[in-house]
Amino acid sequence: MKNIALFGICGKMGKAMLGELVLEKEINIVAGFDKVSIGTDIGVLNGRDITGIKVTDSYDDVKEAEPNLIIDFTGPDSVFDNIKWAIGNNIDIIVGATGLKKNEIENLRKKSKEFKSKVFIVPNFSIGAVIMILLSKLSAKYFDNCEIIEMHHENKKDAPSGTSILTAESIAKTIKYNDSDINDGEIESIEGSRGAFVNGLHVHSVRLPGLLAHQSVIFGSKGQTLTIRHDSFDRSSFYPGLIMAIKNIDNLTNFTYGLESLIKL
């Protein structure tokens, strides 16, 4: 039985995943953590029966609930501290929040080795998105260059997305396309018009109402292009990946990054 504390429980992703998790027989939600709606019964959040478990913003309240797993859907402003607290209290944590910096990730990787808890950072829970990344890595060596366009809803706090960064990092393990963000003879008449530059790739971020999570990886060579695209139209698309992470976390090392560690092509 997994006794879970759901961090970011009042956010869109937290509410969506709560509605699915409560239906699982081997999962018990024992705490809800957020900065808003403090004192609200978590049953109210997904329109179900009153549970007696109320939203809290206190680490002490979470610890008192004795979870053996935390799932974090908070945000860039708090996720790093949340993970450090989980590690220090020997509680396993699956992190769906994005926005962690490279130095923070390395800090957590080192810190996790000093404790018993497992840290599983998952920039994208969509199995389709993970397969998109794996296919992009396989395709990279056959093309002359590549650019990434990622599109998300207007309330996403970080840009570029964690998925696009992970995609660029994965491709760079196969080939590094560009050493500079500007091509020879190229002029950016407006600064930033070529997008962000991540591991030798240009990444373009779009934020618009009506979008959820979408990404195109566009490869080009003489006379042809290849586009590998993934679209999430509903947050339910993330649930199979979340359940996969929950079921497999006991078999992972102290620190794991990316759902692709569980998916083999």
Give the active site residues.
Answer: 152, 156
Take residue 113 and report the two structure tokens written for it. 């080795």
Are the CB atoms for 238 and 232 separated by under 8 Å? yes
Strand ranges, E, within the chain: 2-7, 27-33, 55-56, 69-72, 92-95, 119-121, 145-152, 196-198, 201-207, 213-221, 224-232, 255-257
For 1-142, where are the alpha helices, taking DSSP H only?
Answer: 12-21, 42-45, 59-64, 79-88, 102-112, 127-139
| Cβ neighbours of residue 190 closer than 8 Å, sequence gap 6 or more | none
Whole-angstrom Cα distance, residue 207 to residue 213? 10
Take residue 109 and report the two structure tokens written for it. 């990787």
